[in-house]
Amino acid sequence: MAIRKVLKYGEPSLREPSKEVHKVSRKISDLVRDLLDTMYAQNGVGLAAPQIGENVRVFVIDVATGNEPLNPIVFINPKIIKKSGAIESNEGCLSFPEAYTNVRRYKNVMIKAINEHGKSFVMEAKDGTLLARAIQHEYDHLDGILFIDHCINRFETEAILEKYHLPALETDRLLEEKDLEEELGKND
């Protein structure tokens, strides 16, 4: 359909919670195609609707690498229904060009969603795979949460944002993640 502009960190709509989709309409189908076109054009692994200015609960992911065929997965009205374990991950985001920082994520997630055909499905991603981390990253976008809110080292993250001329870290948005911290502490 169309390659859309990816909103950059600092745009207020990236912090707004998204609305449920009531019907997989033509408008939603077009949005899904735009998300996929935009994600592939930017060499992304995932893209959430709020990142292109549409605050609805839709995101797409494709973790295919190298010569693997494209394998897009569409998530509409997703809900994470189970999560466990903890992993440290180095993440970036298309809304934060070139900026990466270490974050805490769950190692295993189970998600329920609707696909682009209106069919419900459940997917499990385990062992801290790229898919498990991408699901959490994109899911957060739907609630106005950004990957930097999960950062492990606040000062390192602030320096990275400054280096790439991005707005400062919103320290009031940093997440308390005691369960993940404890789990990661056990792994040391």
Catalytic residue positions, numbered: 138
Instruction: For residue 102, count other CB atoms closer than 10 A to its CB.
Output: 14
Q: What is the DSSP string of the chain?
A: --PPPPPPTT-GGGGSPPBPPSS--HHHHHHHHHHHHHHHHTT-SEEEGGGGT--BSEEEE----TTSPP--EEEEEEEEEEEE--EEEEEEETTEEEEEEEEEE-SEEEEEEE-TTS-EEEEEE-TT-HHHHHHHHHHHHTTT--GGGGBS-HHHHHHHHHHTTPPPP-GGGPPP-HHHHHHHHHH-
What is the four-CA torsion angle of 131, 135, 137, 142, rounded to 10 degrees? 160
